[in-house]
Amino acid sequence: MPSQTEKKPQKQWSLQDFEIGKPLGKGRFGRVYLARETKSKYIVALKVIFKEQIEKYRLHHQLRREMEIQTSLRHPNVLRLFGWFHDAERIYLILEYAHGGELYKELRKTGYLTKKQAATYILSLTQALTYCHEKHVIHRDIKPENLLLDHEGRLKIADFGWSVQSRSKRHTMCGTLDYLAPEMVENKAHDYAVDNWTLGILCYEFLYGAPPFEAESQSDTFRRIMKVDLSFPSTPYVSAEAKDLISRLLVKDSSKRLSLQKIIEHPWIIKNADPTGTC
């Protein structure tokens, strides 16, 4: 009789267990395909990563960390990693299938989101980050390209490639500049509050259609982030309450940024977000 503590043995998957469908997208290190597990007919997204690429950029530790972290997370707004397997050339990640595709394509299509969509997605992100931070995980790379939508329009955070299991301050440089907090772009020690900053960036981008410190060159973006050079184009579509929330997150001193709990309680969120996460 197996002891209570023994986990159910992880099934060893292989390519033969799946029927591969259309390609869904491609990233720097591989592609993602629609796939169906043959026995259960369960639909998944199969992310194929070339070992040669991982070795070339010395990313096995980062990939291993991504897999360990994403396998351990269970939250409605975090894309599930069900398992993985490999062959001679490739590593295969068996991921939850998000039927709605990438959020940023939705954003580019419409230019900016409605206040209900924006508030609902910020609430979902805040709830997902509250869960991640309780598990000592900092995502560090939340940007529209890493956000997916399921068949009900519910947001799913994907791609934990830059996340870290953190119990202390971190020093690693990562991500594109637009979404990085000052302490990240200065390559200083940073902690969970970097994700709070990014929520401010995303809230601004959801409502205005572009991130607040966007500039021609990376060095200009860097300067604007360091100065917190924040301005709100005058438009009737963005309320004073939305500007208040953004201004309380884009604060240089990380200890003074609005906490995740205070975001959930903010009047703009309470008034505009759909608590079921669908909209």
Task: Summarize the annotated binding site for ATP as residue ranges.
Answer: 28, 47, 51, 96-98, 145-146, 159
Q: Which of 17, 141, 178, 274 is catalytic?
A: 141
d(CA 71, CA 73): 6
Beta strand 101-102 with 81-86 is unpaired
The reply on whether position 26 binds ligand MPY by CB under 6 A is yes
240: CB partners within 8 A, 6+ apart: none
The reply on whether position 84 binds ligand MPY by CB under 6 A is no
The reply on whether position 25 binds ligand MPY by CB under 6 A is yes
Which residue lies nearer to ligand MPY by CB, 85 or 232? 85
Give yes or no for a contact between 208 and 238, defined as CB atoms under 8 angstroms apart. Answer: yes
Member of 69, 73, 78, 98 binding ligand MPY (CB under 6 A): 98
Catalytic residue at 141?
yes
Question: Where in 117-146 is the site for ligand MPY (CB under 6 A)?
Answer: 146
Give yes or no for a contact between 49 and 91, defined as CB atoms under 8 angstroms apart. Answer: yes
The reply on whether position 275 binds ligand MPY by CB under 6 A is no
Size of the site for ligand MPY (CB under 6 A): 20
Which residue lies nearer to ligand MPY by CB, 97 or 268? 97
Beta strand 43-50 with 30-37 is antiparallel
Backbone angles phi, psi at 46, to 5 degrees: -105, 115
d(CA 68, CA 83): 10
What residues are labeled active site? Answer: 141
Give me the residues that bind ligand MPY (CB under 6 A), please.
24-27, 30-32, 45, 47, 95-99, 101-102, 146, 148, 158-159
